[in-house]
Every structure is written in C-alpha cells, then in structure tokens.
C-alpha cells in the first residue's frame, strides 16, 4: 500500500513540475535559513571535547572579600596560586592541572625571523591527556619534568612551522626569553571550537602555540597574560607575595571518572575551605563549585545571546515559509477533487487519501530539506568569511551530522505544517459531488 502511495505521489509531483519546484523551493528557503542560524548557535554550544567532557571538572573557590560578593555572585572565575597548590595534593582526581598563559619573547633562529612576543601556556603534564591534545611528534613531558621544572616545551603545529620550518623537531632547542628550551613534542593540527580550558577571555581563541611546565612560574618569575582578579591589595611587591595573595588567576581542572569520585572531591574541596576559614581566609559563606564542562560553558555564557535570538527568529521564518505553502498545496489538491472522487467511489478510505497527500508533501519536503541544507552550507561559508576577524579562522561555523539531521527534521516538520490542512480538506471530499460532474 505504501509503495502505491509513494508511486502515486511521485507521479502527481511530476505532473506539475513548476508547482513542485515552488513548494520545494519554499521549504528549501526555510530550511536553509533556519539551519544556518541553528548551526551558528550550535558551533558555540556543542560539546568542545566529545568523549572527555563528562570526566572533566572545573574547580573554583569563593575566596572573595567579606564586604561584597564577586560580581555576579561568585565564586571568582579562577583560583589563587596557594589554593591550586593545596588542592593538587589530593589524590582523588585521576589527573589534574592548573594552567595560565604568559606572554614571553621567543627568539627563532635569525634565518627564520625576528623575535616575537608569544602567548605561552603553562600547565602540568596531565593537561595534554585531559584535554585530548593530539600529538604529531613526541609527546607530553612527564611528571618528573614537572617537578624539576625542566626547560622543555611542546610546540603547536603552526609554531613548529614558524620556528623550524615544520618536520620532526623533537630534541631541538628554542630560546624563550633568556633560556634554552628542549622540544619534547609537536602537536598535530589542534583547533578545538572552544578554548575550553580557558574561558576567561575570548572563548573562540585558538590555543597558544607553545606549552611549558607550570613549575617554571617561579624560576622564570612569570606573570599571567590573562585576567587576574583580586579584592585585597598585595602585602608587598614581588612574585612571592603575589603567589601568597588572594589574587585569582589560574584555571584549575580535575579529571573525575566516577560519580563517587566527584562526590568525594566536592567534600574534599569544602573541607579544605573550612580548614582555611580557621586561618582567617574564606570569609564568605561556603560557595565552591566543581562544575562539568557544560555547566562551566553555561556559566561563562559561551553562546552569544544574539545567536540564540537569531535562531528563534529563523525558526519563525521556517514556520512562515510553511504557512505560505498551505495556500499553494490547497489549490493543487482541490483542483484534483474529481480524481479523488473517483478513487473514493472505488473504495479508497479517507485515511488512504490523507496519507497519500501527506506522503506527497513529505517527498517534496525531503527534497526541499536537501536543497536547503546545501544552501545553508553556502551561507555558512559567507558567514565564516565575515567573522574571520572574531574567530581567527575560516571554518568556525560548520555543519555536522547533528545539523544535517536538524535540516532533515526541519524540512519534514515544515512539510507537515504545510500539508496537513490541505490533505484534511481533500480527504473530506464527498465522492458523489464530483462524480456527478464527470
């Protein structure tokens, strides 16, 4: 039966190709616009590290001053050095890393270019496994090198190209400020959609080009090139006092694979805070957060509000496209009334007539959805060119299988919205009226 309906629908579509093209075009337009805007939003909102995001947790403590809360209610977006150092003594997390960025001068071989100031990410060895950082050559440094604060670096792909002209440069050295660093690893092309490990500033920035052990902080007297929030003036000048201060400037992440570990870690963090309260710190009510990647993204408002608003508008656009097609389909179906009359008289049930017309609509809708998807790919290419200045890349907005499914679903729903009323009208035709006219 369904095969027959499909065949009839196909024949009906072929009988009036102009009409079919207009209806498919209308759906394609609606699908194109709504898929475009849905993809723009999705590009910010989607899981930045699939497969790892459910075990990673961002840790924050409310060490803010007693007089007023941190803007927005707190806790601050980062942690202090002393708290990171103390929390990292816990053995509950499978992996953990505090991290920050610093701006340092890198001196390439004079044949390769002039010295430049570069952003360098300081982190612990676990960082690379935690954030699924892909290596092309070599690998991360080890825990021993963390402890001894050895002068080793991992280079991003583009940085390796710039410093060494590409290739396997593991074992070579690069001068950063006044020290020589040994290259232990070179990354593959690594361009996550979000810089998930550091959402404190522009969340769509590319990762830094150089990674070095966190332990170099003190020997190199490093400063953060990112945000540093504090509520209390530092006691005395210099790095030692800064590290002992209430300034928050480190992003701190832990890996907790099981619910049990999450619960134990949360209890551990709270117990630590209560203990610190006895020392006169943490004067605000207990307000620590151990948050999943998704919670942290929501709190940092990674998805621009404009993207959400524009997606809502684009869904209305799809609805209006579908509404406009009702009139067209109604005209077409009712013009066929005599034929329907014959079919009904020959024993076709109302349901059969109804289903047959819905099948016809959904066939057009599928075609429209496919065309719409193709159009939205073109539209996204244009949007990517416009936004290069913000995203620093030309492939930020991309259709993935979820968005392709969205396009298909949007097309089918639009087909239903456009087709249900005309199909209902046409199946209510009384056989007799039209037979008389034959």
**47-55, 291-299, 322-330, 355-363 -> range binding other proteins (CB under 8 A):** 322-330
User: What angle, rounded to 10 degrees, do the helices at 337-345 and 401-427 form?
Assistant: 80
User: What angle, rounded to 10 degrees, do the helices at 350-386 and 401-427 form?
Assistant: 150
User: Is residue 350 a contact residue for other proteins (CB under 8 A)?
Assistant: no
DSSP 107: E
Letters for 283-312 (x = contact with other proteins by CB under 8 A, - = none) are ---------------------xxx-xxx-x
User: Is residue 345 a contact residue for other proteins (CB under 8 A)?
Assistant: no
Helices (H), ranges, 165-289: 239-243, 259-278
DSSP output for 140-178: ---HHHHHHT--EEEE-HHHHHHHHSSS--TT-EEEETT
Element (H, E) at 58: strand 56-60
User: Is residue 249 a contact residue for other proteins (CB under 8 A)?
Assistant: no
Tell how strand 95-107 and strand 56-60 pair up: unpaired
Letters for 8-27 (x = contact with other proteins by CB under 8 A, - = none) are --------------x---x-
User: Is residue 89 a contact residue for other proteins (CB under 8 A)?
Assistant: no
Shortest Å distance, C-beta 193 to other proteins: 17
User: Is residue 132 a contact residue for other proteins (CB under 8 A)?
Assistant: no
**100-108, 163-171, 249-257, 367-375 -> range binding other proteins (CB under 8 A):** 100-108
120 within 8 A of 220, measured Cβ to Cβ:
no
User: Is residue 327 a contact residue for other proteins (CB under 8 A)?
Assistant: yes
**85-93, 230-238, 355-363, 364-372 -> range binding other proteins (CB under 8 A):** 230-238
Element (H, E) at 186: strand 179-187
Shortest Å distance, C-beta 271 to other proteins: 30
Q: Is 59 helix (H, G, I), strand (E, B) or coil?
A: strand
Contact residues: other proteins, CB under 8 A: 22, 26, 29, 33, 37, 103, 105, 107, 114-117, 223, 233-234, 236-238, 241, 304-306, 308-310, 312-314, 316-317, 319-321, 323-328, 330-331, 383, 386-387, 389-390, 421, 425
């Amino acid at each position: 039966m369904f095969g027959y309906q499909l065949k009839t629908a196909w024949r009906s579509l072929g009988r009036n190709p102009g009409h079919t093209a207009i209806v498919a075009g209308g759906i394609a337009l609606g699908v194109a616009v709504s898929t475009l805007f849905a993809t723009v939003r999705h590009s910010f909102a989607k899981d930045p590290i699939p497969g790892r995001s459910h075990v990673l947790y961002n840790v924050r403590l409310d060490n803010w001053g007693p007089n007023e809360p941190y803007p927005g209610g707190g806790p601050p977006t980062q942690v202090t050095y002393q708290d990171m150092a103390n929390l990292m003594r816990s053995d509950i997390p499978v992996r953990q890393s505090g991290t920050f960025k610093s701006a340092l001068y890198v001196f390439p071989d004079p044949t390769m270019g002039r010295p430049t100031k570069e952003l360098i990410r300081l982190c612990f060895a676990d960082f690379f496994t935690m954030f699924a950082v892909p290596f092309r050559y070599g690998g991360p440094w080890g825990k021993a090198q963390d402890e001894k604060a050895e002068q080793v670096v991992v280079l991003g792909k583009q940085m390796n190209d710039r410093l060494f002209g590409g290739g396997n440069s593991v074992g070579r050295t690069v001068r950063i400020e006044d020290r020589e660093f040994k290259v232990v690893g070179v990354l593959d092309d690594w361009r996550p959609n979000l810089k998930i490990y550091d959402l404190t500033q522009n969340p769509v920035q590319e990762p830094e080009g150089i990674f070095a052990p966190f332990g170099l902080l003190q020997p190199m007297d490093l400063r953060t090139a990112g945000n540093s929030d504090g509520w209390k003036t530092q006691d005395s000048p210099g790095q030692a006092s800064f590290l002992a201060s209430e300034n928050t400037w480190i992003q701190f992440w832990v890996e907790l694979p099981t619910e049990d570990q999450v619960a134990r870690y949360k209890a551990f963090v709270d117990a630590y805070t209560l203990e610190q309260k006895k020392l006169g710190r943490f004067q605000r009510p207990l307000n620590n957060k151990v948050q999943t990647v998704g919670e942290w993204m929501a709190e940092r408002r990674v998805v621009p509000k404009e993207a959400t608003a524009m997606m809502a508008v684009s869904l209305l656009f799809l609805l209006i496209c579908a509404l406009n097609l009702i009139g067209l389909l109604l005209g077409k179906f009712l013009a066929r009334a005599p034929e329907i009359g014959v079919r009904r008289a020959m024993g076709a049930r109302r349901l059969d007539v109804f289903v047959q017309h819905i099948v016809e609509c959904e066939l057009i809708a599928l075609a429209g959805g496919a065309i719409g998807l193709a159009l939205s790919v073109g539209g996204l290419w244009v949007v990517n060119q416009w936004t290069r200045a913000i995203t620093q890349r030309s492939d930020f907005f991309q259709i993935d299988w979820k968005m392709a499914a969205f396009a298909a679903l949007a097309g089918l729903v639009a087909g239903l919205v456009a087709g249900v009323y005309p199909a209902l009208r046409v199946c209510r035709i009384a056989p007799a009226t039209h037979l008389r006219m034959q």
